[in-house]
Amino acid sequence: MSLRPIKRLGQHFLVDPNTIRRILAQFDVPPDGRVIEIGPGSGALTEHLIVEHPAMTAIEIDERAIALLSERFPTLDVRHLDILEVDYASIETGSDPLWVIGNLPYNITSQILFRILESPRVVQAVVTMQKEVAERLVATPRTKAYGILSVLTQLLVRPRICFHISPNVFRPKPDVWSSTVRLDRPPEPAIAGLDIDHVRTIVRKAFGQRRKTLRNSLSEVVEETGVDVPNEWARRRAEELEPLEFVELARILTRHNDRNS
């Protein structure tokens, strides 16, 4: 049984053995590590992963793929779920760390990434995505690619582009190049002690009007918190700030209620 890729699911199946080996070489999992594969499709990565990690879990939305995987790997724990609705904290019982791997659908890559980033149990992810998105993850201030995804990614994990992948190794061939990225979560994230929703709001508001100064782009946050943007920050723009500076700014703009609690 073979799978015909479904366009609306953003399916591009990896078919090159050498590329598969290169991806797996980036995945640094202990023998007893809890592995989750996102969108296994026909099982190109799965057939190698399940040998070393028989207790792995596969998350798949395509019922045809589930049937194929169940036939090829009878012992595989494959779950029919929408990856955008998965709570990594409850996908495995207990509090064990999780290692995630997968070829992400281009049309929902950012949404999947945010789910991974905001799940503290995920200690490492090796994911393949559109090259343009990968470059945004590691972008630096004052560059076109630098934005919300860059800041939030770099505050929560250590992103690294492992290598780029030609369209020729996928079926069907995508119109763009891809990249495999490794995300490692540090023991103590930069935003430790802060409300992630508060940090996310500040980053989103600041970049929502990236050409405006922080005094203007963060006016709604100032109104909500009752804390003014200090003069030394007021004339700066979001694209000028290093990720850690957003942490400092978030601490300054902490709600009065939070300070008094």
Report yes or no on whether pTM surpasses 0.75.
Answer: yes
DSSP 169: G
Lay out the sheet containing 178-184: strands in order across: 77-80, 57-60, 34-38, 98-103, 122-130, 178-184, 158-165
The mean pLDDT of 222-242, rounded to a whole number, is 92
pLDDT digits 0-9 by tens, 50-94: 999 999 999 999 999 999 999 999 999 999 999 888 887 777 656
CA distances from 36 to 40, 105, 189, 225 (A): 10, 16, 22, 39
**Phi, psi of 260, rounded to the nearest 5 degrees:** -90, -5
**How many other C-beta atoms are found inside a 10 Å radius of the C-beta of residue 143?**
12
pLDDT digits 0-9 by tens, 97-109: 999 999 998 889 9
| pLDDT at residue 217, rounded to an integer | 95
The tokens describing 230, both together, are 């200090």
For the chain, the residue count is 261
User: What distance in Å separates the CA atoms of residue 98 and residue 96, rounded to the nearest whole number?
Assistant: 7
Q: Which residue has the higher pLDDT, 95 or 194?
A: 194
| pLDDT at residue 261, rounded to an integer | 40
Q: H/E/C letters for each residue in 12-66? A: CEECCHHHHHHHHHCCCCCCCCEEEEECCCCCCCHHHHHHHCCCCEEEECCHHHH
The mean pLDDT of 143-150, rounded to a whole number, is 96
254: confidence class by pLDDT, cuts 50, 70, 90: confident
Averaged pLDDT score across all residues of the chain: 90
User: What distance in Å separates the CA atoms of residue 57 and residue 75, rounded to the nearest whole number?
Assistant: 10
The pLDDT of residue 184 is above 60: yes
Domains and CATH numbers, the chain: 7-184 (3.40.50.150), 196-260 (1.10.8.100)
pLDDT digits 0-9 by tens, 103-142: 998 889 999 999 999 888 999 999 999 999 999 999 999 9
The mean pLDDT of 19-41, rounded to a whole number, is 95
259: confidence class by pLDDT, cuts 50, 70, 90: very low
205: confidence class by pLDDT, cuts 50, 70, 90: very high
The pLDDT of residue 218 is above 90: yes
